[in-house]
């Protein structure tokens, strides 16, 4: 699983409020799977993020499925991340799963989630 290990759990902007998606990577034919978080201010829509991630992962031999989206508010100064909102196209990600993934990367942060729209 060295290729999967090379894929980072989390890639999000270091600051600000932006859209994010939760993506499931799967080896074709079952087996290995894991969920990753991707978010950036550069994406006007959630599908822009998926359109960037998908080909990268396919090159590594993974099938990608978007499990939903939302927004992330990243305050690096206060070490706080808030996960909220939803994606119109993909529906709402399970923010509690997203928080668990974020905690692996941002170990010293206070990370919360809610179903608030704003």
Binding site listing for substrate: 19
- Residue 75 to residue 47: CA distance in whole angstroms: 24
Q: Which of 48, 41, 35 is nearest to 93 (CA)?
A: 35
- Give the residue numbers marked as catalytic: 46
Q: Which of 51, 49, 58 is nearest to 26 (CA)?
A: 58
Residue 52 CA from chain centroid, whole number = 13
| Contact of 51 with 42, CB cutoff 8 Å | no
| Contact of 30 with 95, CB cutoff 8 Å | no
């Amino acid at each position: 699983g060295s290729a999967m290990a090379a894929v980072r759990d989390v890639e999000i902007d270091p600051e600000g409020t932006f859209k994010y998606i939760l993506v499931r990577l799967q080896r074709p034919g079952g087996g290995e799977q894991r969920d990753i978080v991707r978010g950036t201010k550069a994406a006007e829509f959630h599908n822009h993020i998926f359109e960037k991630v998908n080909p990268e992962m396919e090159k590594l031999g993974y099938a990608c499925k978007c499990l939903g989206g939302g927004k992330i508010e990243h305050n690096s100064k206060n070490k706080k991340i808030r996960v909220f909102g939803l994606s119109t196209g993909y529906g709402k990600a399970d923010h509690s799963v997203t928080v668990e993934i974020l905690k692996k990367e941002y170990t010293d942060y206070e990370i919360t989630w809610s179903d608030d729209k704003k």
